[in-house]
Amino acid sequence: MSEYSIIGKPTPNVDGPAKVTGEARYTIDMTLPHMLYGKLLRSPYPHARILSIDTSAAEKLPGVKAVITGKDTPGGKWGLWRRFRELSDQQALATDKVRFIGDPVAAVAATTEEIAERALDLIEVDYEPLPAVFDPIEAIKDDAPMVHEDFPSNINATRHIEWGDVDAAFAKADYIREDRFVLEAAHPCAMEVHNSLASYDKGTGRLTVWTSTGSPYFVQQNLADALKMREGDIRVIKPHVGGHFGGKNSTMPDSVNAAILSMKTGRPVKIVFNRDEEFTTTEHRTAQHMALKLGLKKNGEIVAFEVKAMTNGGAYTGLGATTLYLTGTFITMPYKIPNYRYDGVRTYTNIVWGTSIRGFGSVPGKYCSETQLDRAAKDLGIDPLEIRRINAVAPGYTAPGQYTFESCGIQPCIEKMAVRVKEKWPKIEQDEGIGYCAFAYMTGGIFNWIDTPYAYSSAHIKVNWDGTVDLYSQAADVGQGHNTVAAMICAEELGIGLDDIRLHMGDTAHAYTDLGAWGSRETLMNGNAIKDAAAQVKQKLIDIARMKLGENIAYDFVARDKRVFLELRPERGVSYYDLVKDAIRHNDGVPLTGTGHYTPHNKGMISPAYAMGIMAIKAKVDRETGHVTAQDVLVVHDSGQIINPLGARGQTEGCIHMGLGYGLCEEMPMDQGMLLNPEFVDYKILRTRDMPEIEIMHVPTYEPNGPFGAKEAAEATIAPAAPSLANAIYQACGAEFFSNVLKPEKVLKAIRAKEAQNNATSQAKK
Amino acid sequence: MKTIITDFNYLAAKTLDEALDLLCKHKDDDYRIIAGGQSLNTAMKHRLLTPEYILDIKGVADLDYVRFDEKEGLKIGALATHRSVELSPVVREKYEVLREMEENVASIETRNWGTLMGDLCNADPAVDPAPPLIALDAEITVSAKGEERTVPAEEFAVDFFETVVQPGEMATEIRVPPLPPNTGVHFMKYSQIHGDYALASASVLITLDAAKEQCVNARIGLGGVGVTPIRAKKAEEVLKGKKITDEVLAEAARVASEETSPISGIEASADYKRELAGTLVRRVGKEALERARRA
């Protein structure tokens, strides 16, 4: 009999039936009586001063109810780095100048979407184009145009991390290699585009916003800043969300302008971005330049590592500054690196801005470090899996001043991988190779740049007379399955069934704060808060049970299978439902409640817990076309105690899909700040038939900081996909890559460069 | 999600005669014919096309068919969808290459809506059906009120997104002749993602003599490597009259790639596409030869 009755059992998503039958309501499905449709007019220039805007013709178009420009907005700026007010750099509509192609300059509300769109054509904006800058290396030059006047050299954020004596360690290293990389941007491509429905009540002065977001509380805070209102006068509701992938943390101009237009018209206003707007004006995974210097002993032990990153931040901050910060951290994991230095710079440029896309801070960096490690291993004659085993950390490892791994299964993961690879792929054919990448990722971030005064996560539960439980939290299910995890944790703690739980999630008016779904935080942080709330109720039930049974104070009770009973004598117990009735009677008719919360303390700078593991990809390269086929993926994952194995599997497969897309085909080519592929015809996403078989094995550990020992499972496995693939190609044919996106032509060139190099070497030998 | 905001007049025909009458009447107007709408809707949403009239032929009786007889071969009506061609038993039995081609056209959803003829009329240079139809020596019937003409598949597209179909005309039928004995035909497109537009595509037909030794006829269609799909006639000459060896195929591939004039794009350069076309001709030719030997 397993320790748990619900945790660890494959559990279908609690939202599944509603989603597959079409019953589930997303923001995009919603309408309200008298609702207007909003549209944004956007800048065609990457950088320009606004000289004048004439809205008179648009206002005269029948069906148009409001046309606004920057001067009509409350003028508050907002951002996610609220702790540093100068980084609150977003605004509803540009006032003085536009900073990227797509920066909104005016907004229209009309009775139909078509009229709103026609009205945009009637607004005349007079621009004075300004010189623009698109690349971070250009942006920091003295004569570069300034994107924001108060940020010299366009430096948006910097990050320095250092421990040990890096220079001394390099001086003593047996082997040093330096590599430079250029990483391409990628878009999260959520199926549900950014959209918001705002309804302002002029009588009370209160605002309600339904929006497709990963964090209702972030939107509430940001709207308060943007509209110069009190947070408490704004209610944000997150209905079902059709995909987040990191692109829905920032508050975007849809919700802010819908709110302003609703204030102007007194009617509900809905703004839905079209796919073109989604690609060109919403946040993406940042393009960046990286330079890595690695020092090793002859035996492959890492002695020193130096990393420089320069990210193409774009026009605003978002969570891009956090990404820069984390890039310096995750690139070191899960290895013992005694001497380390990181310098990161995020620059403002005249493009749409980059942010916290799934696996943020790990994806570009790991691509560089893990492909570099393979080259180093080859030079030193060490097996690629062995060099990872030699350097992998052990439980309790601390990176000075940064992070500590409490639970840590990386070594057993690597051992299991070594065994499984031999069984699974006994023979490697011509032009095939196996590539590896070890990885680790946070389970929720500790940093508080959003400046929340509240606990990082909270949950409230109310147990009703009939035993049903209402669970309230602002925690966000964005498709990752958190609702299921939340219900499972609550049910397990109370010893009841999933059918006893009613979820009321993602509404700022009905629940205490949770910071939302980003950095893989919900399972651990919200899970701890829910477990805390449920444990309080459980204790009340145990107290009543003890009283009823007249048991010795020293005996322990458990709640399980809808009963509360003595741990050592399970036959002595009371029905959960009877206990609830008694408890409410004893409590003067008040339902049982518990309010739990969680904020990490004394857990370093990054996260209370880290999921980790190793990935292997077997791939084949076509030497004539340059086509790369990822044939098979093997993951050995330490995700702590898995709460829902079905959910964990779905998340891992999704990560590998996104990660392989990053490695193979997803890119955002731009010309003078103009995106060249803003639709799915040209933006390439892997389809079902392009996906390899995926085998996932778990090495369970018990994470002391997680609910029931759990760690994250939604993000760690994205970063290793692309480097494992590139390493597989390197093993197959020696072709080397210093950039992601292995499009066939690039692969073919790399193969020919390698062949030319080999020919030159063999000529020289003769 | 993007909406079509320009107004247009909607016309619908129930019979071919009605459709041809309407075309005759609106000959000088800015109109577009819609069948499956898989390309036209997108172009209109992006305001690349803003026609004044839309003529809907979806309801026209007797244009949705895939038929075969031993004498005249295969006939595909203008309203036959990609999916119905893909699933047609006679296509599977007699023109396997067309089923292979259809399997990789976009997605099932698109193939359920989109018509093969509409795809040809849209005249994207990378259109999937064109190379196999060129290799199969297909003809396309173009009708106007009171008249009709046929055009060889390789002459159908005349430029980037432009065909021989003139104002007042409509393409109504594709005819594919029966395959001669000892004939093998194959098609491949290359795209990094399954079902995507081809970076290049090639179809090769090879007919061997009775002894299955010498190549008596060869036809090669290429897609995605010029402003229109093309027929690689010089490469065909390399194959004709010869016993086809790997060396002969390699030479035909080299000549075929010289016949292309691809355009560089964000996906790949012209040089890459040119080389790719040659690689495909060699691979497809080898399979076509095997099939001819087995035929």
Q: Where is B280: in which H helix or E strand?
A: helix B270-294
CA distance A357 to chain B (A): 23
**DSSP symbol at A411:** H
SS3 A612: strand
Which residues of chain B have a CB within 8 Å of the CB of A624?
Answer: 279
Percentage of residues of chain A with pLDDT beyond 90: 98
- State the pLDDT at residue A627: 98
Nearest CA in chain A to B269: A745
Residue B31: pLDDT band with limits 50, 70, 90: very high
How is residue B74 annotated by DSSP?
Answer: E
What are the φ and ψ backbone dihedral angles of B212, each rounded to 5 degrees? 55, 40
CA distance A94 to A72: 11
Interface residues of A toward B, Cβ cutoff 8 Å, are: 113-114, 117-118, 193, 272-276, 624-627, 664-665, 669, 676-677, 681-682, 684-687, 689-690, 743-745, 748
* Residues sharing a CB contact under 8 Å with residue B113, sequence separation 6 or more, in sequence order: B36, B37, B38, B81
Query: Residue A499: is it exposed, middle or buried by C-beta count within 10 angstroms (0-12/13-18/19+)?
Result: exposed
How many CB pairs lie under 8 A apart between chains A and B?
Answer: 58
d(CA A626, nearest CA chain B) in Å: 10
Subunit contact A677:B1, Cβ cutoff 8 A: no
Nearest CA in chain A to B103: A689
Q: Which residues of B touch A745 (CB under 8 A)?
A: 268-269, 272
Say whether pLDDT at B294 is over 50.
Answer: yes
- Mean pLDDT along residues A144-165: 97
Kindly state the percentage of chain A with pLDDT values over 70. 100
Ranking A155-169, A404-418, B2-16, B118-132 by mean pLDDT, the lowest is B2-16
Give the per-residue pLDDT at B53: 97
| φ, ψ dihedrals at B86, nearest 5° | -60, -40
Following DSSP, what letter does each residue of A14-28 receive, concatenated?
Answer: TTHHHHHHT-PPBGG
Question: Which chain B residue lies closest to A685 (C-alpha atoms)?
Answer: B193
Using a CB-CB cut-off of 8 Å, the residues of chain B touching A113 are 3
- Please indicate if any CB of chain A lies within 8 Å of the CB of B192: yes
- Buried b / exposed e along A68-105 (16+ C-beta atoms within 10 A): bbbebbeebbbbbbbeeeebbbbbbbbeebbbbbbbbb
Contact (CB<8Å) B5/A117: yes
B:37-56 residues touching chain A, CB 8 A cutoff: 42
* Residue A73 to residue A765: CA distance in whole angstroms: 73
Residue carrying the six token digits 């309408």: A31
- Asked if B194 and A748 come within 8 Å (Cβ–Cβ), the reply is no
Select from B187, B191, B277, B263 the least CA-distant residue to B235.
B277
* CA-based nearest residue in chain A for residue B271: A745
* pLDDT top residue among A703 and B6: A703
Domains within chain A, CATH numbers bracketed: 16-23+456-598 (3.30.365.10), 407-449+608-766 (3.30.365.10)
Tens digits of residue pLDDT in B139-190? 999 999 999 999 999 999 999 999 999 999 999 999 999 999 999 999 999 9
Q: What average pLDDT does chain B have?
A: 96
- Comparing B2 with A525, which gets the higher pLDDT? A525
Our CA dihedral for A574, A575, A578, A584, rounded to 10 degrees, sits at 80
Q: Is B249 on the interface with A (CB under 8 A)?
A: no
Residue A143 burial class via C-beta count within 10 angstroms: exposed 0-12, middle 13-18, buried 19 and up: exposed
Helix ranges (DSSP H) in A65-153:
113-121, 136-139
**CB-CB under 8 Å, B268 with A625:** no
Tokens of A371: 């492909």
Closest alpha carbon to A50 in A143, A124, A120, A146: A124
What is residue A553's predicted lDDT score, i.e. its pLDDT?
87
Three-state DSSP at A692 gives coil
- pLDDT attached to residue A565: 97
What percentage of chain B exceeds 70 in pLDDT? 99
Q: Which amino acid type is present at position A253?
A: P
Residue range B183-290, CATH number? 3.30.390.50
**pLDDT confidence of B1, banded at 50, 70, 90?**
very low
Q: What phi and psi, each to the nearest 5 degrees, are found at residue A366?
A: -65, -30
Nearest chain A Cα distance for residue B104, angstroms: 11
Separation in Å, CA A322 to CA A80, A360, A475, B169: 10, 8, 21, 60
B42:A664 CB<8 A:
no
CA dist B56 and B78 (Å) reads 12
Q: How many alpha carbons lie under 13 Å from residue A586 in its C-beta half-sphere?
A: 14
Residue A310 φ/ψ region, left for φ over 0, alpha for ψ in the -120 to 50 degree band, beta for the rest: beta
**Closest CA relative to residue A446, chosen from A329, A600, A609:** A600
Side chain identity at residue A193, one-letter code = V
Of the candidates A191, A580, A614, the one whose C-alpha atom is nearest the C-alpha of residue A438 is A614
Which residues 6+ apart lie within 8 Å of A52 measured at CB? Answer: A125, A126
Kindly report the three-state secondary structure assignment for every residue of A290-335.
Answer: EEEEEEECCCCCEEEEEEEEEEEEECCCCCHHHHHHHHHHHCCCCE
Q: Calculate the dihedral angle through the C-alpha atoms of A246, A249, A252, A255, rounding to the nearest 10 degrees.
A: 120
Residue B21 reports pLDDT greater than 90: yes
Answer whether B79's CB lies under 8 Å from B63's CB: yes
User: What is the dihedral sign for C-alpha B232, B234, B239, B241?
Assistant: positive
Return the pLDDT at A766: 72
Q: Do B1 and A272 touch (CB under 8 A)?
A: yes
Bridge partners for B205 per DSSP: B185, B219
Cβ B194–A193 below 8 Å, yes or no?
no
**Contact call for B193 and A684, based on CB within 8 A:** yes
CB contact under 8 A, A677 and B276: no
Read off the pLDDT band of A742 (50, 70, 90).
very high
Q: Please name the fold of domain B9-56.
A: 3.30.43
Which of these, B196, B195, B185, lies nearest to B221 by C-alpha position? B185
Residue A666 near residue A680, CB atoms below 8 Å: no
Q: Is the pLDDT of residue A623 over 60?
A: yes
Preferred mutation among A27, A624, A691 to probe B, highest tally of B CBs within 10 A: A624
Tokens representing B35 are 């069948």
Q: Answer whether B7 touches A (CB < 8 Å).
A: no
Query: For chain B, what are the domain ranges?
Result: 9-56, 66-176, 183-290
- State both tokens at A296: 């090793």
User: To which residue do tokens 């030319």 refer?
Assistant: A756
ipTM above 0.90, yes or no: yes
**Is A272 in contact with B197 (Cβ distance < 8 A)?**
no
> Can you give the pLDDT at residue A404?
97
Residues of B in contact with A676 (CB under 8 A): 266
A550 to A572, A574, A758: CA distances (angstroms): 11, 12, 84
Asked if residue A206 lies in contact with residue A235, where contact means CB atoms within 8 angstroms, the answer is yes
**Cα–Cα distance between A271 and A226 in angstroms, integer?**
17
The answer to whether the CB atoms of A743 and B1 lie below 8 A apart is no
B5 touches chain A (CB under 8 A): yes
Question: Residue A1: its pLDDT value, please?
Answer: 40
A-chain residues near B107 (CB < 8 A): 687
SS3 A484: helix
Q: Flag whether residue B267 sits within 8 Å of chain A, measured between CB atoms.
A: yes
* pLDDT given at position A165: 98
Q: What is the mean pLDDT of residues A525-539?
A: 98
- What span, in angstroms and rounded, lies between the C-alpha atoms of A474 and A134? 38
Residue range A51-59: average pLDDT? 98
Model confidence at B2: pLDDT above 90 = no
Q: Sort A175 into a burial class: Cβ within 10 Å, 0-12 / 13-18 / 19+.
A: middle
> Does B196 contact A at CB distance below 8 Å?
yes
Residue A2 is predicted with a pLDDT of 58
- Mean pLDDT, rounded, for A117-135: 97
CA B228/CA B131 separation, integer angstroms: 10
CA distance A401 to chain B (A): 45
Half-sphere exposure for A498 (CA within 13 Å, toward CB): 18
How far, CA to CA in Å, does A723 sit from each of A98, A368, A667, A678, B68?
37, 8, 16, 26, 52
Q: What is the dihedral of CA B101, B106, B110, B114, to 10 degrees?
A: -50
Q: Are A687 and B194 within 8 A, CB to CB? A: yes
Name every chain A residue with its beta carbon within 8 A of the beta carbon of B269. Answer: 745
The pLDDT tens digits for A503-513 are 999 999 999 99
Query: What pLDDT, in 10s, does the model give residues A172-201?
Result: 999 999 999 999 999 999 999 999 999 999
Instruction: Note the CATH number of domain B66-176.
Output: 3.30.465.10
Chain A residues close to B268, C-beta within 8 Å: 743-745
Which residues neighbour A644 within 8 Å (Cβ) at sequence distance 6 or greater?
A: A9, A10, A11, A481, A484, A485, A488
Q: pLDDT tens-digit profile of B212-253? A: 999 999 999 999 999 999 999 999 999 999 999 999 999 999
Q: Residues of A with CB below 8 A from B193's CB?
A: 665, 684-687, 690
* Predicted local distance difference test score (pLDDT) of residue A247: 97
Do B3 and A117 count as a contact with CB atoms less than 8 A apart? yes
Q: Taking all residues of chain A, what is their mean pLDDT, rounded to a whole number? A: 97
Please name the member of B3, B192, B199 whose beta carbon is closest to the beta carbon of A665. Answer: B192
Whether A664 and B192 lie within 8 Å, measured CB to CB: yes
Specify whether the CB–CB gap between B199 and B128 falls below 8 A: no
Q: How confident is the model at residue A552 (pLDDT cuts 50, 70, 90)?
A: confident
| CA dist., res. B227 & res. B265, Å (int) | 13
> Nearest chain A Cα to B279, which residue?
A624
